[in-house]
Structure 1
Amino acid sequence: MSDRIQQSPANDSTREVSKNLPAVGLVATESNAEWIAAEILRIHSRAHQAIVTAAVDADLQALTFARWLDAEVVLPSGNWAEADSPRERLQLFAKEAGYPGLLYHGEEDGSVNLPASRDALKNTEKFTVDAQLEPVTEADPTVMVGIPAYNEAATIGTVVESAKNYADTVLVVDDGSTDDTVEVAAAAGATVYEHDRNVGYGGALNSIFDQADRGDADYLVILDADGQHDPSDIPELIEQQQESGAEVVIGNRFDEDADTEMPLYRRFGLFAVNLMTNLSLGILRPTKQISDTQSGFRAYSTEAISSLAEDNSIGDHMDASTNILYHAHSNGYQVVEVPTTIDYDVEASNNLGPVEHGLTLVGNIIRTVEREHPIMLLGVPGVSCVLMGFVFTYFTMFNYLQSGSFPLGYALASTTFTIIGILASFTGIILHSLELYRK
């Protein structure tokens, strides 16, 4: 044996390998100890011998693992030449040890495809060939369905059973229900996360995002617990997310392909809320606007799940859907929509009346615009008021010079518009400056 190679002691009684098969050469580095150990176990389980050397002249943790697992360990001696590569070192040892060939794997990941590597060795006259690797197969993405629920015992079981056909995990967040929602959801096969008290729709969504983030879900789809949403649409949302790369996909009730019969009063109210939401987001072009800003049927990517789980500004109540869109907009997320079916012929589809719900949404939009876009909410109207004040001032002076009498009405209008305009403009500028400083 050459004095340039040192061999670790091998315990032949504990290793069932054959010298009639080619050995597999591996290269240890400072960072691949776990991979070395796993690959040695795999190689030995298939009756091949693993020979491990080091990329540097050091006894690394990977080499220690190799000794424990009865692999042949080859270390360079103190007088080894720079030209002596790990491949040459492993080949020399394999020849002297009597192996019929060497399957060299110098990468830090991947597993050797032993049958394919042996075939490659047979088809060449060389003693050493680069090992053929197992094809890399990506794991199927995991889909979690999240369902916020409050006193939905009558419908939650059916929703969970249907959603299970399209998801790896169905998570029901019970928001302090006083009925049998928890028991029915668990019996249907859902994982149930319970709130001690009712904190609202947004609070349930916050818990869903947090649990999805902890569970490393690739996709999260939110469904209503009352049976309005059709779980069979879940694959379409996920497919659209995969194709577009969008962080948020919304089930759109207003798409021409959507099969939704919406009451006229609800359609009119949502049209107004959609318009206000898009304006508050600064989306002015109709082709870029979100058609259904209040749809609760949405899919979220891993990135969106993680950022939403950390966002404490998502409200607890029904305005959370709008707050999530503000979050997506501020983070530069892409939002796309797909047509969906909504069934409004269900009992107690909304805990809030339409008027109360609408006022809640409008109030949230106004507060958000005031916080995020004070120039638009206060500055622009303020400047308009100042201009109107100038117009009434002109009429006041014109009438006084023409008739000699002072038009009190024009003067009061001029003063009122000018003062309100100046106050609104300066308030908008101050709020805008504070927002810039906060960012």
Structure 2
Amino acid sequence: MSKVGEINIDGNLTVSTNNPAVGIVATEGAAESIAAEIINARRNGHQAIIVGTDGGNQEWRVFARALGARIVDCNALFDQQSMKECLLETAREAGFPGLVFHDDPTSRIDLEASMNVLQESDSFLVDSRSKPPLERGERVLVGIPAYNEEATIGNVVKEGLEYADEVLVVDDGSEDRTAVKAKQAGAIVVEHETNRGYGATLHSLFEQAERACVSHLVVLDADGQHDPSDIPKLVEFQAKSQSEIVIGSRFVGDGETNAPYYRKLGLLVINFLTNLSFGAIRPKSWVKDTQCGFRVYSPRAFENLANDPGIGSQMSASTDILHHAHERNYDIVEVGTNVNYDNENTSSHHPISHGITLVSNILRTIERERPITALGLPGFLCWFGGLAFTYWTITNYTSTNTFPIGLGIVSGFLGLSGILFCFAAVILHSLQQQSGIR
């Protein structure tokens, strides 16, 4: 087989046959670990060669093909020596200068140590050196929801990798080269076949963080609004405070934003309604920035969120997550960050339609969760208005001896509507109490 100098796979990371290869023995149930080792090898310029027994239905094969690894089927008995021989023969034929042999994909390869041993050895093949098992407290994962963000995703990924162990991009059915750009920058990419919505991408991030057993999941936008250099500050604050959710807020401490005034006004309204839906009346108890996508989640938070069907699939997910947190008494803290709106196309949603959608969703939530506030208070005001119009109707009739039909209709309508609203509020509140919703 002729020697190929450079191999570029899927526009992602370039590996070279001038570097030693990494040979991995595939075992059932270790597909995700195998995928992680392939990515680790390729990120450092090494080709991964996976050996397994005959049969094309194993899950690890799907990952290996998608990540550009070589797959070798070994017809011999599945023992370590036969696996070594298959990998050794493949690596020599492909022209690699050496091979690191890894027979336990559930353990992590210490690639640097393994390559040092190979370099110092006269042998073509050496057994891998393994890292100690990961503990949850060691890893930070940056998760980026993305939709048609090819212009900015590469820089965001590269900057995120400076402050995290891994960067995971969930491409929500983009029509451009977002996924390719993210891979080229070094991210792990999960692709939705269709555009499923912001909430669906967050759900995928929560699931992946749960599987990866990370200590902190940092979520930030793909459009460059958020500054990745703020990641250490937010992570450190979460580690010290043990809070379930840390929000990078535009409106507390040293947080700043150059958002247009109409956006600030819209955020003020949305923040007020969102806090009202929690039952937070006093401003001191408010979440000041309910819609910022720059957040850090603890394991307790993202594990529960990954399994909560109540998190919507669209942009209202940011509010749904806060309701989830409020119901479970999570600690939510806000740390000041800067949000930059100078980038072009910082949102794929029109601000007015987006705001109307958010407000309508919040109002529905208030109606469901706070019926006394949503229905009882307006009902009382309607009833009081009806009472005032009734008084006006009576005084008008006594002074003119003519019944004012218009005033009578208005007073009757307001009074009846108020009674119905109050009655509905009491019924819904009683049902909530009985069903234990609150």
Structure 1 unaligned spans of 5+: 1-136
Could you say which residue in structure 2 is the equivalent of 1:273?
270
Could you say which residue in structure 2 is the equivalent of 1:337?
334
Could you say which residue in structure 1 is the equivalent of 2:199?
202
Superposition map of 1:17-416 within 5 A: 140-416=137-413
Cα distance change on mapping 1:180 and 1:421 into 2, 3 Å: same
Q: Which is further off, 164-173 or 426-435?
A: 426-435
* Bigger Rg, structure 1 or 2: 1
Distance in 2, Cα, partners of 1:363 & 1:400: 42
Aligned-partner residue type, residue 140 of structure 2: V
Aligned-partner residue type, residue 356 of structure 1: S
Distance in 2, Cα, partners of 1:138 & 1:427: 52
1:138, distance to aligned residue in structure 2 (A): 7.9
Aligned-partner residue type, residue 433 of structure 2: L
Distance in 1, Cα, partners of 2:353 & 2:362: 14
Contact kept, 8 Å, 1:254 with 1:339, in 2: the verdict is: yes
1:156, distance to aligned residue in structure 2 (A): 1.2
1:399, distance to aligned residue in structure 2 (A): 3.6
Does 2:438 correspond to 1:422?
no
1:315, distance to aligned residue in structure 2 (A): 1.1
Distance in 2, Cα, partners of 1:138 & 1:434: 45
Cα distance change on mapping 1:346 and 1:417 into 2, 3 Å: same
Deviation string 1:24-47 (CA, Å, 9 cap, x unpaired) is xxxxxxxxxxxxxxxxxxxxxxxx
Contact kept, 8 Å, 1:151 with 1:181, in 2: the verdict is: yes
**What is the TM-score with the length of structure 2 in the denominator?**
0.66
Distance in 1, Cα, partners of 2:418 & 2:137: 59
Q: Is the partner of 2:195 in helix, strand or coil?
A: coil
1:233, distance to aligned residue in structure 2 (A): 0.3
Contact kept, 8 Å, 1:371 with 1:435, in 2: the verdict is: no
Distance in 2, Cα, partners of 1:226 & 1:315: 22
Contact kept, 8 Å, 1:172 with 1:193, in 2: the verdict is: yes
Cα distance change on mapping 1:322 and 1:139 into 2, 3 Å: closer
1:220, distance to aligned residue in structure 2 (A): 0.7
Paired-residue identity, %: 52
Count of residues paired in the alignment? 303
1:432, distance to aligned residue in structure 2 (A): 2.4
Contact kept, 8 Å, 2:136 with 2:213, in 1: the verdict is: no
Contact kept, 8 Å, 1:228 with 1:343, in 2: the verdict is: yes
Aligned-partner residue type, residue 253 of structure 1: R
Contact kept, 8 Å, 1:141 with 1:219, in 2: the verdict is: no
Aligned-partner residue type, residue 263 of structure 2: R
Deviation string 1:324-349 (CA, Å, 9 cap, x unpaired) is 11111111111111111111111211
1:412, distance to aligned residue in structure 2 (A): 1.8
Q: Is the partner of 1:166 in helix, strand or coil?
A: coil
Q: Is the partner of 2:162 in helix, strand or coil?
A: helix
Distance in 1, Cα, partners of 2:272 & 2:138: 35
Aligned-partner residue type, residue 179 of structure 2: V
Aligned-partner residue type, residue 319 of structure 1: S
Distance in 1, Cα, partners of 2:357 & 2:261: 20
Contact kept, 8 Å, 1:146 with 1:223, in 2: the verdict is: yes
Cα distance change on mapping 1:327 and 1:177 into 2, 3 Å: same
Distance in 2, Cα, partners of 1:405 & 1:163: 76
Aligned-partner residue type, residue 329 of structure 1: H
Distance in 2, Cα, partners of 1:241 & 1:138: 17
Distance in 2, Cα, partners of 1:248 & 1:352: 25
1:422, distance to aligned residue in structure 2 (A): 1.4
Q: Is the partner of 2:292 in helix, strand or coil?
A: coil
Could you say which residue in structure 1 is the equivalent of 2:70?
none
Aligned-partner residue type, residue 368 of structure 2: R
Deviation string 1:170-200 (CA, Å, 9 cap, x unpaired) is 1111111122222221222211111111101
1:207, distance to aligned residue in structure 2 (A): 0.5
Distance in 2, Cα, partners of 1:326 & 1:357: 19
Distance in 2, Cα, partners of 1:178 & 1:405: 69
Deviation string 1:254-312 (CA, Å, 9 cap, x unpaired) is 23512421211111111111111111111111111111111000011111111111111
Aligned-partner residue type, residue 386 of structure 2: G
Could you say which residue in structure 2 is the equivalent of 1:26?
none
Distance in 2, Cα, partners of 1:321 & 1:302: 18
Distance in 2, Cα, partners of 1:141 & 1:260: 32
Distance in 2, Cα, partners of 1:405 & 1:181: 73
1:407, distance to aligned residue in structure 2 (A): 3.0
Deviation string 1:368-392 (CA, Å, 9 cap, x unpaired) is 1111111111111112212222232
1:214, distance to aligned residue in structure 2 (A): 1.5
Structure 2 unaligned spans of 5+: 1-133
